[in-house]
Amino acid sequence: MAEVLPAEGIRLGLTAADKWDAIRQCGAVLLELDAVEAGYPETMLEREKSVSTFIGEGVAIPHGTDESRALVRNTTLGVLQFPGGVDWDGQTVTICVAIAAKGNEHVQVLSALAQILMDPAQAERLRTSSSPDEVRTLLESIGKDLET
């Protein structure tokens, strides 16, 4: 799990001025983790301009465009929690799962994340967690099929 969701990629108790600020923070985390090259965060903003990454249950999944996969060094997730909520086109987002995925690994990541979020209790735990370890436990299934 350390490769896909490193402990230092979990940021709790953050604030964001708006969804664009939240997406920029997501990109900055992926850069800090050395998961992506410098141009990737900008493609996350481009993706959001074309298609909202809000997926329900207070969760958004900012990620780059299809073309930006070449800028991904390692499939990595960042989890950023905004307890006060961020307005996301009229919806409130409290969790952003920043995704950097190589090749077609994003399909597996999105599928695993959807399985977790289909359980409202799990989604609620993710939104309200005050422990990075709890977040890792909730999301550990995402990395299992991807790690070698």
Vertex 61, ends 23 and 35: CA angle to 5°?
Answer: 70
Instruction: Determine the Cα–Cα distance for residues 101 and 111; give it in Å rounded to an integer.
Output: 13
The string of pLDDT tens digits covering residues 73-106 is: 999 999 999 999 999 999 999 999 999 998 888 7
Q: What is the pLDDT of residues 108-140, one digit of tens each?
A: 888 888 888 888 888 888 889 999 999 988 887
CATH architecture entry for 7-143: 3-Layer(aba) Sandwich (3.40)
- How far is it, in rounded angstroms, from Cα 29 to Cα 42? 13
106 among known catalytic residues:
no
Q: Which of these is catalytic: 19, 24, 63, 69? A: 63
